[in-house]
Amino acid sequence: MNLFKLVWAFIRRRPLTWAFNVLTLSTGVALVLALVLVSQALDNRFRRDLADIDLVIGAKGSPLQIVLSAVFQMDTPTGNISLAEAERFTRSALVSRAVPVSMGDNVQGARIVGTTLDYPKLYGAELAAGRWWGQPMEAVLGASVAQRLGLHPGQSFVGAHGLVGSADLHRRFPYRVVGVLKPTGAVVDRLVLTDLGSVWQVHEHPDADERATDPNRREVTALLVKYRSAMGALMMPRLVAAVPDLQPAIPAIESARLFSLLGVGAEVLQGVGAAILGLAAIGFFIALFGAVSQRRRDLALLRALGARPSLLLMIVALESALLGLAGGLIGVAAGRALAAYAGHVSMAAASGPTLIPPPAGAIDLAAIGAALALALVASIGPAVIAARTDPARELAGA
């Protein structure tokens, strides 16, 4: 005979009540945990994509759109900017590094980005196979693109016009795969990288040969800028804004705005999760209260057998704690599954950012601990009532 056996015997007498309350508790835990995991995954994802980019210079338009298109590769660009104008900033003393990006084509939904070798360096991307590009029409594939399209170094593909899949193929300008990147967890995984010159070559009108050779007319989509010092943050946006066709966009500000937009939905769901947790706490309280009143005479019997009031208190607290623990464990398992499913759904949505929830750790323990604490708090009142059982009243009242 031991305390656990005794408590288990009590729990078994009310299987449906407890099944329902554990279900409620685990639902609340799962919902809150899944939301925290998904928002952490989003946060990590965006943080990685932001790399060290302090400023994006794009064509006049919405700064949020510029950041979404040029950094996260999720929206269409606002337009193109003149390479000559952009290069004025590249050479500025305020800038330590400026990476041009040029978009316009895709291969089966994966964006083809013309850039320099500085771009993969932003994300610490390394080659898994092959080599970097050395001339126009050579391409290096991000890890998930290579896997999805089944392309290896040496093979060729043609791009399609636009940023999503289309039938408008540039058959005259096939790309040759020269390298494949290792996974980085960042935006480069789902991009096809190539030389800036490739994009010009593919898009220049066949009749206008002089444009191809005129460097003053060349365009890029955006310039990703890293400042040399804090002075850059003070000066650069104003300098860029002064140029009529250019729009400065600060990724830190725009992604904060984006999060505040997404945050509303997350807050609502988090509120729902908290409400379910509150309901679970009330459910535990009511169930324990009912259990204690139902077993008054059993508790009185234990007192007659020599049990101290503290033992009756512990029985109720342990009963609640065991069920709270069960709710926490089930909730964490379900929350993990929910977050993994959300990540999977976002992956399935073609070129959307893949979400990888953070690995199991402190947050899961915290969720289980919270469920346990909630159950224990709910048990305080009923446990005290149990401890105050008056054996004379229960045993003589028959």
Name which of 223 and 300 has its Cβ closer to another protein.
300
Task: Specify the stretch interacting with another protein by CB under 8 A; choose among 10-18, 42-50, 202-210, 242-250.
Answer: 10-18
Least spacing, CB of residue 330 vs another protein, in Å = 23
Binding residue (CB under 8 A) for another protein from 297, 340, 346, 381: 297
Does residue number 16 form part of the binding site for another protein (CB under 8 A)? no
Could you give the angle at which helices 296-304 and 309-348 cross, rounded to 10 degrees? 130
Task: Specify the stretch interacting with another protein by CB under 8 A; choose among 8-16, 84-92, 111-119, 155-163.
Answer: 8-16
Name which of 1 and 362 has its Cβ closer to another protein.
1
**Which tokens is 64 given?**
């949020």
* Contacting another protein within 301-320 (CB under 8 A): 301-308, 311
Does residue number 1 form part of the binding site for another protein (CB under 8 A)? yes
Does residue number 393 form part of the binding site for another protein (CB under 8 A)? yes
Q: Evaluate whether 300 touches 351 at the Cβ level (below 8 Å).
A: no
Least spacing, CB of residue 305 vs another protein, in Å = 4
Least spacing, CB of residue 303 vs another protein, in Å = 7
Does residue number 2 form part of the binding site for another protein (CB under 8 A)? yes
Binding residue (CB under 8 A) for another protein from 122, 202, 300, 326: 300
Binding residue (CB under 8 A) for another protein from 16, 242, 362, 396: 396
Task: Specify the stretch interacting with another protein by CB under 8 A; choose among 162-170, 210-218, 227-235, 295-303.
Answer: 295-303
Binding residue (CB under 8 A) for another protein from 49, 54, 254, 298: 298
Name which of 5 and 171 has its Cβ closer to another protein.
5
Name which of 4 and 341 has its Cβ closer to another protein.
4
Closest of 108, 113, 110, 112 to residue 167, by C-alpha: 108
Least spacing, CB of residue 298 vs another protein, in Å = 6
Name which of 131 and 308 has its Cβ closer to another protein.
308
Contacts to another protein by CB under 8 A: 1-2, 5-6, 8-10, 12-13, 297-298, 300-308, 311, 391-393, 395-396, 398
